[in-house]
Protein backbone atom coordinates (compact mmCIF):
# COMPACT_ATOMS: atom_id res chain seq x y z
CA UNK A 1 0.00 0.00 0.00
CA UNK A 2 2.99 2.32 0.34
CA UNK A 3 2.91 3.18 -3.35
CA UNK A 4 -0.77 4.11 -2.99
CA UNK A 5 0.02 6.44 -0.09
CA UNK A 6 3.01 7.91 -1.92
CA UNK A 7 0.92 8.68 -5.00
CA UNK A 8 -1.93 10.25 -3.01
CA UNK A 9 0.50 12.34 -0.96
CA UNK A 10 2.10 13.66 -4.14
CA UNK A 11 -1.32 14.30 -5.71
CA UNK A 12 -2.35 16.34 -2.66
CA UNK A 13 0.59 18.67 -3.38
CA UNK A 14 0.11 18.70 -7.16
CA UNK A 15 -3.61 18.54 -7.82
CA UNK A 16 -3.60 19.68 -11.44
CA UNK A 17 -4.04 18.02 -14.83
CA UNK A 18 -0.50 18.66 -16.02
CA UNK A 19 1.06 16.83 -13.08
CA UNK A 20 -1.52 14.05 -13.16
CA UNK A 21 -1.01 13.36 -16.86
CA UNK A 22 2.77 13.30 -16.37
CA UNK A 23 2.35 10.75 -13.57
CA UNK A 24 -0.44 8.65 -15.05
CA UNK A 25 1.62 5.48 -14.74
CA UNK A 26 1.93 6.05 -11.00
CA UNK A 27 -1.83 6.64 -10.79
CA UNK A 28 -2.63 3.45 -12.69
CA UNK A 29 -0.22 1.44 -10.54
CA UNK A 30 -1.82 2.77 -7.34
CA UNK A 31 -5.30 2.23 -8.71
CA UNK A 32 -4.46 -1.37 -9.65
CA UNK A 33 -3.27 -2.02 -6.11
CA UNK A 34 -6.57 -0.75 -4.69
CA UNK A 35 -8.47 -2.85 -7.23
CA UNK A 36 -6.63 -5.98 -6.08
CA UNK A 37 -7.50 -5.24 -2.45
CA UNK A 38 -11.10 -4.50 -3.43
CA UNK A 39 -11.34 -7.80 -5.31
CA UNK A 40 -10.12 -9.71 -2.26
CA UNK A 41 -12.53 -7.82 -0.01
CA UNK A 42 -15.43 -8.63 -2.33
CA UNK A 43 -14.57 -12.32 -2.14
CA UNK A 44 -14.34 -12.24 1.66
CA UNK A 45 -17.38 -10.03 2.25
CA UNK A 46 -19.49 -12.45 0.22
CA UNK A 47 -18.82 -15.01 2.96
CA UNK A 48 -20.45 -12.80 5.60
CA UNK A 49 -23.11 -11.15 3.43
CA UNK A 50 -24.84 -13.44 0.88
CA UNK A 51 -26.40 -10.43 -0.86
CA UNK A 52 -23.04 -9.34 -2.27
CA UNK A 53 -22.66 -10.77 -5.79
CA UNK A 54 -19.50 -11.87 -7.51
CA UNK A 55 -18.64 -8.50 -9.03
CA UNK A 56 -15.92 -6.72 -10.96
CA UNK A 57 -13.92 -4.56 -8.51
CA UNK A 58 -14.06 -1.74 -11.07
CA UNK A 59 -17.80 -1.53 -10.36
CA UNK A 60 -17.00 -0.86 -6.70
CA UNK A 61 -14.16 1.66 -7.10
CA UNK A 62 -15.17 5.33 -7.32
CA UNK A 63 -13.63 7.45 -10.05
CA UNK A 64 -10.77 9.71 -8.98
CA UNK A 65 -12.09 12.61 -11.04
CA UNK A 66 -14.05 15.24 -9.12
CA UNK A 67 -17.27 16.80 -10.43
CA UNK A 68 -16.31 20.46 -10.28
CA UNK A 69 -19.16 21.91 -12.35
CA UNK A 70 -20.96 23.50 -9.41
CA UNK A 71 -18.14 23.54 -6.87
CA UNK A 72 -16.01 26.54 -5.86
CA UNK A 73 -13.19 24.03 -5.32
CA UNK A 74 -11.80 23.49 -8.81
CA UNK A 75 -9.19 20.87 -7.96
CA UNK A 76 -9.78 18.19 -10.62
CA UNK A 77 -8.93 15.06 -8.61
CA UNK A 78 -9.92 13.41 -5.37
CA UNK A 79 -7.00 12.76 -3.06
CA UNK A 80 -8.25 9.35 -1.97
CA UNK A 81 -9.36 6.01 -3.35
CA UNK A 82 -12.72 4.69 -2.24
CA UNK A 83 -14.51 1.40 -2.92
CA UNK A 84 -18.15 0.66 -2.11
CA UNK A 85 -19.00 -3.03 -2.13
CA UNK A 86 -22.71 -3.62 -2.55
CA UNK A 87 -25.28 -5.24 -4.78
CA UNK A 88 -25.18 -2.90 -7.77
CA UNK A 89 -21.79 -1.36 -7.00
CA UNK A 90 -21.02 2.22 -6.04
CA UNK A 91 -24.10 3.56 -7.87
CA UNK A 92 -26.46 1.38 -5.83
CA UNK A 93 -28.94 2.51 -3.17
CA UNK A 94 -28.40 -0.77 -1.32
CA UNK A 95 -26.45 -0.92 1.93
CA UNK A 96 -22.83 -1.87 1.45
CA UNK A 97 -19.24 -1.72 2.71
CA UNK A 98 -16.94 1.27 2.24
CA UNK A 99 -13.13 1.15 2.04
CA UNK A 100 -11.37 4.54 1.96
CA UNK A 101 -7.62 5.11 1.53
CA UNK A 102 -6.28 8.60 2.18
CA UNK A 103 -3.13 9.64 4.03
CA UNK A 104 -4.20 10.82 7.46
CA UNK A 105 -7.87 10.02 6.85
CA UNK A 106 -8.19 6.27 6.27
CA UNK A 107 -11.71 5.09 6.93
CA UNK A 108 -13.84 1.94 7.02
CA UNK A 109 -17.59 1.83 7.22
CA UNK A 110 -20.81 1.06 5.48
CA UNK A 111 -24.57 1.30 5.40
CA UNK A 112 -26.41 3.79 3.17
CA UNK A 113 -25.12 7.35 2.81
CA UNK A 114 -27.57 10.17 1.97
CA UNK A 115 -30.25 8.00 0.37
CA UNK A 116 -32.89 9.54 -1.92
CA UNK A 117 -36.25 10.42 -0.36
CA UNK A 118 -38.08 7.20 -1.20
CA UNK A 119 -35.27 5.03 0.18
CA UNK A 120 -34.96 7.17 3.32
CA UNK A 121 -38.72 6.96 3.92
CA UNK A 122 -38.62 3.16 3.56
CA UNK A 123 -35.75 2.88 6.06
CA UNK A 124 -37.43 5.14 8.58
CA UNK A 125 -40.69 3.22 8.27
CA UNK A 126 -38.91 -0.08 8.87
CA UNK A 127 -37.21 1.33 11.96
CA UNK A 128 -40.51 2.79 13.19
CA UNK A 129 -42.08 -0.66 12.91
CA UNK A 130 -39.09 -2.51 14.41
CA UNK A 131 -37.22 -0.05 16.66
CA UNK A 132 -36.03 -2.67 19.15
CA UNK A 133 -34.32 -4.60 16.37
CA UNK A 134 -32.36 -1.55 15.22
CA UNK A 135 -31.58 -0.54 18.80
CA UNK A 136 -30.23 -4.02 19.51
CA UNK A 137 -27.83 -3.75 16.56
CA UNK A 138 -26.53 -0.37 17.71
CA UNK A 139 -26.10 -1.56 21.31
CA UNK A 140 -24.38 -4.85 20.47
CA UNK A 141 -20.87 -4.78 22.06
CA UNK A 142 -19.03 -5.80 18.88
CA UNK A 143 -20.79 -3.06 16.93
CA UNK A 144 -20.17 -0.43 19.62
CA UNK A 145 -16.47 -1.27 19.58
CA UNK A 146 -16.24 0.63 16.28
CA UNK A 147 -19.33 2.80 15.92
CA UNK A 148 -21.00 5.22 18.31
CA UNK A 149 -23.68 6.75 16.08
CA UNK A 150 -24.83 7.20 12.51
CA UNK A 151 -22.66 9.53 10.43
CA UNK A 152 -23.90 12.72 8.85
CA UNK A 153 -26.56 15.33 9.51
CA UNK A 154 -29.64 14.90 11.66
CA UNK A 155 -33.00 16.64 11.71
CA UNK A 156 -33.77 18.78 14.74
CA UNK A 157 -37.38 17.57 14.76
CA UNK A 158 -39.24 14.40 13.87
CA UNK A 159 -39.34 13.73 10.12
CA UNK A 160 -42.64 14.40 8.37
CA UNK A 161 -45.13 11.58 8.77
CA UNK A 162 -43.78 10.28 12.08
CA UNK A 163 -45.01 11.21 15.59
CA UNK A 164 -42.75 13.48 17.60
CA UNK A 165 -43.40 11.46 20.76
CA UNK A 166 -42.09 8.22 19.26
CA UNK A 167 -39.78 6.80 21.97
CA UNK A 168 -37.00 6.06 19.46
CA UNK A 169 -37.31 9.29 17.48
CA UNK A 170 -33.52 9.73 17.53
CA UNK A 171 -33.28 6.76 15.16
CA UNK A 172 -35.53 8.50 12.65
CA UNK A 173 -33.95 11.96 12.65
CA UNK A 174 -30.74 10.86 10.91
CA UNK A 175 -30.43 11.62 7.20
CA UNK A 176 -28.00 8.74 6.54
CA UNK A 177 -27.98 5.22 7.87
CA UNK A 178 -24.22 4.92 7.58
CA UNK A 179 -21.49 4.25 10.10
CA UNK A 180 -17.72 4.47 9.94
CA UNK A 181 -14.46 4.71 11.79
CA UNK A 182 -11.24 6.57 11.04
CA UNK A 183 -8.11 4.48 11.42
CA UNK A 184 -4.40 5.36 11.61
CA UNK A 185 -2.43 4.98 8.39
CA UNK A 186 -0.41 2.16 9.97
CA UNK A 187 -3.49 -0.08 9.85
CA UNK A 188 -3.56 0.30 6.05
CA UNK A 189 0.17 0.37 5.36
CA UNK A 190 0.91 -2.96 7.03
CA UNK A 191 -0.08 -6.48 6.13
CA UNK A 192 -3.13 -6.26 8.37
CA UNK A 193 -5.25 -4.05 6.10
CA UNK A 194 -7.44 -6.96 4.95
CA UNK A 195 -7.80 -8.41 8.44
CA UNK A 196 -8.73 -5.03 9.92
CA UNK A 197 -11.18 -4.27 7.10
CA UNK A 198 -12.99 -7.57 7.45
CA UNK A 199 -13.17 -7.25 11.23
CA UNK A 200 -14.97 -3.93 10.80
CA UNK A 201 -17.12 -5.18 7.93
CA UNK A 202 -18.39 -8.11 10.02
CA UNK A 203 -19.97 -5.54 12.31
CA UNK A 204 -21.26 -3.43 9.42
CA UNK A 205 -22.98 -6.57 8.08
CA UNK A 206 -25.34 -6.56 11.08
CA UNK A 207 -26.62 -3.12 10.11
CA UNK A 208 -26.66 -3.84 6.39
CA UNK A 209 -28.78 -6.92 6.86
CA UNK A 210 -31.49 -4.84 8.53
CA UNK A 211 -31.28 -2.02 5.97
CA UNK A 212 -31.44 -4.23 2.89
CA UNK A 213 -34.29 -6.31 4.29
CA UNK A 214 -36.09 -3.03 4.98
CA UNK A 215 -35.68 -1.96 1.36
CA UNK A 216 -36.97 -5.32 0.15
CA UNK A 217 -40.05 -5.06 2.34
CA UNK A 218 -40.90 -1.34 2.36
CA UNK A 219 -39.64 0.12 -0.92
pLDDT confidence of residue 90: 86
- The pTM for the full model equals 0.95
Q: What sign for the dihedral angle of Cα 10, 186, 78, 82?
A: positive
pLDDT along the chain (219 residues), means of 10: 96 97 98 97 97 95 92 93 94 95 98 97 98 98 96 96 96 98 94 95 98 96
pLDDT recorded at residue 166: 97
In this predicted structure, what is the pLDDT of residue 128? 98
User: Which residues touch 88 (CB under 8 Å, ≥6 apart)?
Assistant: 94
Q: What range does the domain containing 137 cover?
A: 2-218
- What pLDDT was estimated at residue 68? 86
**pLDDT for res 205:** 98
Do residues 74 and 64 touch, judged by C-beta distance below 8 A?
A: no
Contact between 108 and 183 under an 8 Å Cβ cutoff? The reply is yes
Report helix, strand or coil for 80. coil
Using only the alpha carbons of the chain, give its radius of gyration: 18
CATH code where residue 74 lies: 3.30.930.20
Nearest to 52 by CA among 88, 100, 90, 99: 88
The count of domains in the chain is: 1
pLDDT at 78: 97
Enumerate helices (H) and strands (E) in the chain, giving the number of each.
Answer: 8, 4
* Residue-level pLDDT at 215: 97
- In sequence order, what are the beta bridge partners of 106? 183
Q: Which of 107, 112, 96 is nearest to 59 (CA)?
A: 96
Amino acid sequence: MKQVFDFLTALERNNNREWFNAHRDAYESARDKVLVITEILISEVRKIDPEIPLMDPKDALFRIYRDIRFSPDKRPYKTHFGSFISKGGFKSNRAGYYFHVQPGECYLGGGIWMPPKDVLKALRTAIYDHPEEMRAILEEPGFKKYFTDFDGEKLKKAPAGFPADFPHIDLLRTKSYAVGINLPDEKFLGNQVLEVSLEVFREVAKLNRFLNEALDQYL
